[in-house]
Structure formats: C-alpha cells, structure tokens
Amino acid sequence: MHLIENISKLFLKKTKNVLMYDNTQEIGLNKFIVATKILKECGIKVPKIYNDYSQCGILIIENFGENKYGSILNKKNKIKLYKLAIDTLVFIHKNKKGYKIKSFDNNILFKELNIFFDWFLPFNNKNISVSQKKILVNLFSELFSKLQGLQKVLVHRDFHVDNLFYLKNEEGIKKCAWIDYQDMLLGPISYDLMSLLEDARKCLNNKVREELLNYYLENMNFKNDTLFRVSFKILALQRHLKVLGIFCRINSRDSIPTYLLHLPRIKDYLRDILNDKNFHEIGKILKPLIF
C-alpha cells in the first residue's frame, strides 16, 4: 500500500508523464519493457521509462504530448506524415540484426481469426457449419503458406495513426515516435505497412494508398515485389476479420458501442480483397458471413 501511495505522489508531481497500468502486472509490462529496449537499440523513438513498478502493474513513462497522428493529420500534411511513418518501417526493415523474440506464426494467426467467429458472427446472428469452417481453415492454411518466403522483421502489430506521434524537435525518423508496441513479434515484413495503410479507424483513398505502398517498395529496393503485394492482401484479410471480432467484442462485453462505427470501413476493405480472383474460393464462404 505504501508503494502505491508513493507512486501516486510521484505521478502527481510529474503530471507531464504517463502512468501506464496493466492488470496482468509484470507479464504485460515486461513485454513492453523488452520491446522498448529493442526498439530503442534499433533507433526508433519510443517513450523513456522513468520509473518501473511493474511488480504492481505500473510504469511511469514519457508523454509525447498532443501531436498524435490521428489528431493532427490533414490534407496538407497527410502525405508527409505517412511517408515519415513509412521511413521508420523502412529503417527497421533494413536492420539485419537478429533479436530473440517470439515469432508471429500460424498458431497466432488462427487464434486471432477465432475472434471473428466467436464475436462477430453471434453479434450478427450468423452461423457457420463445422464442415464450412474446416474448409475455411484449409483455405487459410494455403494462404498462410504463401507467407513463408517473406523476410521476418520486428512487427509492431498495431501500427496505425493513433499509435504514432509527430515530434517536430527530433531529427530524421525520430520525428515519428511509436507507442503501444508491447505485443511486438518477429513476423511478415508486410504486416505493419498493411495495418497503417488499411487502418480500421482512418480511411485513405486508393490513389493515396497506392502512392504510399509504392513509396515503401521503392525505398526497400525489392527486386520482385509480387510476393510482398500478395502477402499484404493475405494479412489484411486476416487482420480485418480479427478486428471485426474485436470491435464487436468491445461492444458486447465492455458496453462500448463507438467501435461499431468503424465496421463499414473494415467491410469495404474486405469486399475489395474478396473480389480479387485470388480470393474467390475463400470469398464464397466468407461473403455471406460478413455482408
């Protein structure tokens, strides 16, 4: 109790800092601490950890202020800020240093997909038969097998505009700061770019998305970008289904309906993917469940 009181007093004295709380205590916060150390070593701007009370589920960390991407993006600065965020990805994706961190494997991909079946389908009074689900699992297994040839890199896993800050007083890529990366894993090189360009909360038109995708590819100097583009769509399909389930779960379990406002945007992303001839078979099962 005394430790909690001391933390509270310290936090009140330093109101410019952020108190980060995780009710899993050391489990979740240790992941954040490890990821912070790795990203800092890589040259990515991340919050400084001022005080570690992870035994109580608390960290006191640096506050990046009000310049969150999601709050400051406008027509004039949009391309510049997105390209800056992409520059951080290019920088980290060209880093060849190995890190001892868990990999983003098929078990995780399928576990996340189950959120769609467990929460989105009941919310929409939809059902799937055992045989249909078995077919879907086989089709997704085929799609995920195409990811095997991709380079594995550090993957933020929730790389979108509300987890990025613009810091005008920093230099180079450190002008774009990252937060909320505690679930970082080694995974497919296309994942974070996909989650940035097909953000569940912020829509980019097709022309801008293609411009930004090409900006990334040109800076990475890929000899052949075909696999990257295919993997982008495979991972987008998996992520968007997961997010449909998460937003329905937040509504049903936590009584927060505001996330449902984003469902039409996510469905539009999915419609584009499932209308691609390469996703025809899986679309025959998924379309009646989603639309």
The DSSP secondary-structure symbol of 151 reads: P
Do residues 55 and 180 both lie within one domain? Answer: no
Same domain, 42 and 78: no
Residues 97 and 39 grouped into a single domain: no
Q: What is the pLDDT of residue 1?
A: 36
Per-residue burial over 192-222, b = 16 or more CB atoms within 10 Å of its CB, e = otherwise: bbbbbbbbbebebeeeeeeebbebbeebbee
Structural domain ending residue among the three candidates 20, 48, 63 = 63
Write down the pLDDT at residue 100. Answer: 85
The pLDDT assigned to 56 comes to 87
Closest CA to 211 of 223, 227, 193: 193
Do 105 and 56 share a structural domain?
no
Q: Note whether 216 and 74 are same-domain residues.
A: yes
Residues 147 and 222 in one domain: yes
Instruction: Judge whether residue 4 has pLDDT over 50.
Output: no
By CB neighbour count within 10 A (0-12 exposed, 13-18 middle, 19+ buried), where does 168 fall? exposed
Residue 7 structural domain:
1-63
Query: How large is the average pLDDT for residues 154-179?
Result: 97
> For residues 53 and 37, what is the distance between their CA atoms, to the nearest angstrom?
17
**Does one domain contain both 10 and 132?**
no
Which neighbouring-strand residues pair with 178?
A: 164
Of residues 27 and 187, more confidently modeled: 187
The whole-model pTM stands at 0.93
Q: How many residues make up the chain in this entry?
A: 291
Q: What's the number of CA atoms in the CB half-sphere (13 Å) around residue 280?
A: 2
Residue 117 or 12, more confident:
117
In this structure, the dihedral spanned by the alpha carbons of residues 155, 158, 163 and 167, taken in order and rounded to 10 degrees, is 20
Domain end marker among 41, 63, 85 = 63
Q: How confident is the model at residue 5, as a pLDDT?
A: 46
Domain count of the fold of the chain: 2
Nearest of 123, 155, 141 to residue 238 by alpha carbon: 141
Q: Which two tokens stand for residue 16?
A: 């410019």
Read off the pLDDT of residues 15-71 as tens digits, 9 standing for 90 and up.
Answer: 588 989 887 755 679 999 999 999 999 999 999 999 999 888 899 999 999 999 999
> Tell me, what CATH number does 70's domain have?
3.90.1200.10
Asked if 43 contacts 84 with a C-beta cutoff of 8 angstroms, the reply is no
pLDDT of residue 25: 59
Q: Residue 2: pLDDT above 50?
A: no
pLDDT of 8 above 60: no
Asked if residue 69 and residue 11 are part of one domain, the reply reads no
pLDDT in tens, 207-256: 999 999 999 999 999 988 999 999 999 999 999 999 999 999 999 999 99
> Is 57 found in the same domain as 141?
no
Same domain for 184 and 257, yes or no, is yes
pLDDT at 9 > cutoff 70: no
Which run of H or of E encompasses 268? helix 263-274
pLDDT of residue 98: 84
User: Tens digits of per-residue pLDDT, 58-116?
Assistant: 999 999 999 999 999 999 999 999 999 999 999 999 998 888 899 999 999 999 999 99
42 and 80: one domain? Answer: no
Q: Report pLDDT for 15.
A: 54
Regarding whether 109 and 18 lie in a shared domain, the answer is no
Q: How far apart are CA 112 and CA 108, in angstroms?
A: 6
Boundary-marking domain end, from 63, 82, 116: 63
